[in-house]
Structure 1
Amino acid sequence: MNMSIQKSIAVPPDATRIIEGLRDTGYEFNTAIADIIDNSIAAGATLVDIRFTMDYIGEISIYIADNGSGMDEAGLINAMRYGSNQRSDPGSLGKFGLGLKTASTAFCRCLSVTSRSKASVTTLKARWDLDNVSIQEWQLLFLDPDDDELSLLDEVSDGKSGTIVTWEKVDRILKSYSDQGGSYARKALERIKDNLREHISMVYQRFLDPAFEDAPNVTIRLDGQVIEAWDPFCSAEPFTEVVAERKQEVELPDEQMTSFTIKAYVIPRKEQFSSEDEARKAKLTNDRQGFYIYRENRLIHYGDWLGMFRNEPHGTLLRIEFSFDHTLDDAFNVDIKKSKILLNDDLYNWLKDQFLPAPRRAADDRYRKGVNNGVVKVSKGAHDGSNANIGSKEKAVQLAKVEVTDADRNEVEVTNRKGKFKIKLPVIDSVKEGEVHVAAVDSVDDGLLWEPCIIDQHRAVRINTSHPYYHKVYVPNLASGVTVQGMDSLLWAMCEAELGTINDETKHYIKELRYEVSRLLRKLVEDLPEPVLNDGN
């Protein structure tokens, strides 16, 4: 359908509403500072210096200085423009041309950028003052740099090119503190700086680590203290294992080829670290497991499973490195804050159903072995009632005759209503007086929850305390003798039923049945809460 345009009218947006509205784009403080650091690294800086000041009435100013390439007047105007021109390097950490402004004004009402380019000895300063914008719409102010800014720029850049981003009228960091400038507010600011230091050490790990060769080396200081890299994968620890690794080729819509890499690390248990200090640095907490996603070697998301699984204690030791470059920005829907990605259904399902199951089992096994010492302690004596109860009825409920023919080779002869058969069955001695029908052990072959055995010539069941079912169903009920006896009796009865019906044709299938039931139970209890064990109690 043809349309006839009568006229065209420019309708500029209301400056005050737009610039105030952009304060609420959802930035967190650490993410906002990281956006400024991104620009410094994009400008080729090898040093970034962050400084906080608070005066006696509680007014906070923040300075982020670097020794990057700096900007001339045209470059500075472009940098301060909302929606600045696209960078020449598509792999730049700065992406949408909004981060400097939206990240800054999310926390301050006055943003200044002071810069000196390589080609000029003149230092320029431009400012967005939100209070001024409401009076003079979109008027970017140019000012003379003050002496403190010139001194800081010279210090950081050694008198050469560089840039300082200054936040003033900072109104959204300590707004809940009534004692602005007082001791509580100052302590709160110190906590904010500690959190920022931790965030930078993680997000820019590959830039801060001189040994990492695929990213330029950058020194970042916070109030004069150099920030050290934090390696979430504990790569230098002897017990860290890479349990899966893949480089995946991807064809883009323009038929160009690119790739991403994914690597699964199982990190040590606390007691396996080379020192207590290294174990503390590893941050073995629930919110540090899962994916660590890197765009152009910069961490943009971490600490969860992208909706695939819930964070649970048994996943604490598994951390997944996922790395890609700018060519996959559109494919992964990288957001404006560069803080997360969205996976398409095919990749999501491949990760969840094909890549992750084996690493999750490996991490779960290591975690279980670590906590199992505590489980063994709390389960001590919990099965005494079951042993007494089953012992009083053992002969009355037997379905087969079992004779040990070679204890060293775990060979027994079973006689039941189907005939006489030779099978292999664990033949063991009791480790505790009276524990000859139900024995809680720290592991069973193939990860089974239970298996039949012979203990001191008695028919018995070994129950695997490392299995999730024991952790999540048995452990919370160990104080309930009736519940434990009921569950133990069920497993012992299944072992007796196995001996009463086994024959040469079915003996392999019966073990397979135990394996499948144990596997299904592992899955079924996945979302049950994990009991907390403190020092085995």
Structure 2
Amino acid sequence: MRSRKKSAGDVADRIKLVPDAGLVKSLGVNHTLESAIADLVDNSIDARATEVSVRLLTHRQRLVQVEVVDNGKGMDSGESTQAMTIGHQRDYASSDLGHFGMGLKAASFGHCDTLTVWSRATRSLPVGRRIHRADFSRDFTCEILSSYSAQKADRNRRKVLASEAGTMIIWSNLRNTYRGRSDSEAAAWLSDVSSSISKHLGVVFHRPISSSKLKIKLLVDESEHIHESVGIPVASVDPFSYRASGHPGYPKTINVALADMKIPLSCHIWPPKSDVTGFRIGGKSGERFQGFYIYRNDRLLQVGGWSDIATPSPARQLARVSLDDPRAIGQLVAMNSEKQGVKFEHSFHDAITHATSDDGVTFDQFLKDAEQVYSDSRKRKRKRKPAIRPDRGFSPDLRRAIRSELPIIQDLSLSLQWKLMPQGEFLDVDFANNTLWLNRRYRSLFTPRGSLNDTPVLKALLYLLTHHVFEGQFLGARDKDEIALWKSVLGAAVVNELSMKSDD
């Protein structure tokens, strides 16, 4: 108690530390265009919107303005002022996606110099607020827009989404856009960006989209024609949308025990050689999306990555883990202000390494199971066709070697023998008697003294070359052409071989 009194006695005064407006210059530096727009959609969802229109306005294929329009509950004058206040934290409901009171400002100033918000709450007049980044970074000033302008903006909002209440956020004086002189490059950049935005929104909000709680449309058009454009619905991209598991024991819940909590991790193994949307995300290889998928109120915060629990590798590309327990966010998993990526607390990290499922499977075993499925899928499973049984003229060792490699047709056999044939010929196919004849004139070229089972290398090569023609019911045109080819080439080769021996 004495130490406390002494500590209190050390205090001479208290002052309030007001943040420097210069911090605005660093707002949103880690936001991509995709993540920034997703943050605005978060606000729409918190406002109970069921429809959101993301509009990319262009001029000569250059992006000049971004608009996000929703049919949520809207804001009155006081609420709109609070929304523009940096760091203002309203009373967040447990189901809200907002968290830091920075989302609107950080998302916007990461990509534009002018932020305008038009809104109307039910049974309230429309209102407007505007912040210029340069002014805001000096003194946090915000413009209150005229009632006339707010009513005009409200009519425009209703043309996009016909609802009494709602909000329209506008980014103008954009940064981080294509500014080159090439129209074709501008069009390619815009195409890539719009596709990337659609895929990002599709995966981040895949749960509310697939359950029809939320509809998002993306419009891209020249400014003067944007009101005539028909938006393209953003499709759900579910990272766990496989039809059948790649392993019969999965998905499996592994429970992470911490103090009085058990946090479930839902561990999945995708089927091998998957090449569908969901495994691929945004057109990128599924190998890039192994790891943890962290949800907060059905909103995806992290799209893959092992968060230092494991290392990424090609063999683990089928492994994905869903963390969906709201108790984890904040206590065990720290979320950044851009809501893209999280950091595991050390205690949670360590607890995962000791976590097990009800049937005793550890997290390490899950990774090994995923690696095994991937490894097995890469093994060749080609089945060899049955081949004719080697018989007379083949040594026992050669017959045994052939039988070990090929399934054998037991009631069909092939003999390989020597007989005297005209000069210049080396082999003849006796299909009727299942015999491959070799010209005895040239036997000495391959063996110093002849025997029934001589020249095993030569006979093995000829067996592998010719056995298939003896396995059919008759000699077809293709078989006859092959036999003519063999006779011509091998006949010329053996004559050439003989002349070389004679020169020696």
**Displacement after TM superposition at 1:20 (Å):** 1.7
CA distance in 1, matches of 2:300, 2:82: 27
Q: Give the conservation status (yes or no) of the 8 Å contact 1:284–1:317.
A: no
Picking from 402, 405, 408, the partner of 1:431 is 405
- Give the SS at the match of 1:39: helix
CA distance in 1, matches of 2:348, 2:17: 43
1:186 counterpart residue number: 187
Q: 2:321 matched to 1:311?
A: no
Measured on the aligned residues, the alpha-carbon RMSD in Å equals 3.3
CA distance in 2, matches of 1:352, 1:342: 16
Q: List aligned pairs for 1:289-308, cutoff 5 A.
A: 289-308=290-309
When structure 1 is superposed on structure 2, of 357-366 and 288-297 the one drifting more is 357-366
1:244 counterpart residue number: 252
Change (3 A) 1:160 1:296: same
2:494 counterpart residue number: none
Q: Give the conservation status (yes or no) of the 8 Å contact 1:71–1:116.
A: yes
Q: 2:374 matched to 1:367?
A: yes
**Displacement after TM superposition at 1:9 (Å):** 6.3
1:227 counterpart residue number: 234
CA distance in 2, matches of 1:8, 1:359: 55
Give the TM-score normalised by the residue count of structure 2. 0.65
1:348 counterpart residue number: 349
1:129 counterpart residue number: 132
Q: Deviations over 1:218-253 (max 9, x none)?
A: 1111111111111111243465752421455765xx
CA distance in 1, matches of 2:136, 2:144: 14
Picking from 51, 64, 82, the partner of 1:78 is 82
**Displacement after TM superposition at 1:51 (Å):** 0.4
Q: Give the conservation status (yes or no) of the 8 Å contact 2:28–2:338.
A: no
Q: Give the conservation status (yes or no) of the 8 Å contact 1:114–1:123.
A: yes
**Displacement after TM superposition at 1:36 (Å):** 0.7
Change (3 A) 1:94 1:240: farther
Letter in structure 2 aligned against 1:138: F
1:159 counterpart residue number: 163
1:33 counterpart residue number: 37
Q: Deviations over 1:258-313 (max 9, x none)?
A: 65431111111226x7xx78876796532111111111211111221111322211
Change (3 A) 1:315 1:11: closer
Change (3 A) 1:326 1:365: closer
Q: 2:29 matched to 1:21?
A: no
Change (3 A) 1:341 1:59: closer
- Give the SS at the match of 2:343: coil
Change (3 A) 1:196 1:79: same
Give the TM-score normalised by the residue count of structure 1. 0.61
Change (3 A) 1:364 1:209: same
- Give the SS at the match of 1:304: coil
Change (3 A) 1:74 1:278: closer
Q: Give the conservation status (yes or no) of the 8 Å contact 2:353–2:363.
A: yes
Change (3 A) 1:277 1:288: closer
Q: Give the conservation status (yes or no) of the 8 Å contact 2:119–2:154.
A: no
2:72 counterpart residue number: 68
CA distance in 2, matches of 1:56, 1:209: 35
Q: List aligned pairs for 1:98-113, cutoff 5 A.
A: 98-113=102-117
Letter in structure 2 aligned against 1:119: R
Change (3 A) 1:359 1:41: same
- Give the SS at the match of 1:35: helix
CA distance in 2, matches of 1:240, 1:218: 33
Q: Deviations over 1:441-470 (max 9, x none)?
A: xxxxxxxxxxxxxxxxxxxxxxxxxxxxxx
CA distance in 2, matches of 1:96, 1:20: 18
Q: Give the conservation status (yes or no) of the 8 Å contact 1:90–1:326.
A: no
Q: Deviations over 1:166-190 (max 9, x none)?
A: 111111233xx4228x331232022
CA distance in 2, matches of 1:329, 1:128: 31
**Displacement after TM superposition at 1:85 (Å):** 2.8
Letter in structure 2 aligned against 1:83: G
Q: 2:172 matched to 1:168?
A: yes
CA distance in 2, matches of 1:218, 1:203: 12
**Displacement after TM superposition at 1:367 (Å):** 1.1
Q: Give the conservation status (yes or no) of the 8 Å contact 1:47–1:156.
A: no
* Count of residue correspondences: 364
CA distance in 2, matches of 1:376, 1:365: 21
Q: List aligned pairs for 1:472-483, cutoff 5 A.
A: none
Q: Deviations over 1:24-70 (max 9, x none)?
A: 3x222221111111111111110111000112494510001111110
Q: Give the conservation status (yes or no) of the 8 Å contact 2:315–2:370.
A: yes
Change (3 A) 1:173 1:325: farther
Q: Deviations over 1:506-529 (max 9, x none)?
A: xxxxxxxxxxxxxxxxxxxxxxxx
Q: 2:96 matched to 1:95?
A: no
CA distance in 2, matches of 1:431, 1:335: 59
- Give the SS at the match of 1:270: coil
CA distance in 2, matches of 1:326, 1:113: 33
2:388 counterpart residue number: none
Q: 2:46 matched to 1:49?
A: no
CA distance in 1, matches of 2:327, 2:118: 29
CA distance in 1, matches of 2:14, 2:367: 60
Q: Deviations over 1:411-456 (max 9, x none)?
A: xxxxxxxxxxxxxxxxx962169xxxxxxxxxxxxxxxxxxxxxxx
Q: Deviations over 1:100-124 (max 9, x none)?
A: 101110110001111110132x211
Change (3 A) 1:375 1:148: farther
Change (3 A) 1:152 1:268: farther
Change (3 A) 1:218 1:57: closer
1:203 counterpart residue number: 204
Q: Which has the larger radius of gyration?
A: 2
Q: Deviations over 1:179-226 (max 9, x none)?
A: 28x33123202201111111111111111112xxxxx71111111111
Change (3 A) 1:284 1:172: closer
Change (3 A) 1:57 1:300: closer
Letter in structure 2 aligned against 1:126: R
1:442 counterpart residue number: none
**Displacement after TM superposition at 1:333 (Å):** 2.1
**Displacement after TM superposition at 1:99 (Å):** 0.8
Structure 1 residue runs of 5 or longer lacking an equivalent are: 211-215, 252-256, 378-390, 392-427, 434-537
**Displacement after TM superposition at 1:13 (Å):** 4.3
CA distance in 2, matches of 1:149, 1:48: 17
Letter in structure 2 aligned against 1:205: H
1:140 counterpart residue number: 142
Change (3 A) 1:55 1:331: same
1:218 counterpart residue number: 214
Structure 2 residue runs of 5 or longer lacking an equivalent are: 1-5, 220-230, 356-361, 385-396, 408-504
Letter in structure 1 aligned against 2:214: V
Change (3 A) 1:237 1:278: farther
**Displacement after TM superposition at 1:357 (Å):** 2.0
